[in-house]
Amino acid sequence: MYSRDDLDRVKLILVKIDYILEISTIGIVKALDDEKMTRPAIMMHLTSIAEQFSKIKDQELLKKFDDEDVKGAINTRNFIAHDYEGVNLPIIEFIIRDRLPVLKHEIIIILQ
């Protein structure tokens, strides 16, 4: 149904979400406060999620995701890439707490 490359990208998004959620088990705010290790890791994984969404070619597959999550991922990546020090950490906290679990659930359903 979907290309192997596109499905591999979706699987990688799931892996990146799991990495972020695992990093955040120490507490989301605490993880984001750590400028040396955990915050950069979270930011890099968020950037990677957006990159994978950008590379998915199958529009029907993309339609399976909440449009706001895809646009939000890409916008977040742009903020991280172009104004790293100015990233609004409460927004990143919201993404981790409220949106990533929803996105993870969507991916699990798509992959079944």
Quickly count: other Cβ atoms within 10 Å of residue 59's Cβ.
Answer: 7
Give DSSP secondary structure letters for 55-107: H---HHHHTTS-HHHHHHHHHHHHHHHH-GGG--HHHHHHIIIIIHHHHHHHH
Query: What's the number of domains the chain is made of?
Result: 1
pLDDT of residue 83: 85
Q: What is the pLDDT along the chain (112 residues), one digit of tens a residue?
A: 899 999 999 999 999 999 999 999 999 999 999 999 999 999 999 999 999 999 999 999 999 999 999 999 999 999 999 987 889 999 999 999 999 999 999 999 999 9
Amino acid at 78: N
Query: CB neighbours of 101 closer than 8 A, spacing ≥ 6?
Result: 21
pLDDT of residue 84: 78
Residue 57 sits in which domain range?
A: 4-111
The reported pTM is 0.94
pLDDT of residue 30: 98
Under 8 Å between Cβ of 14 and 104: yes
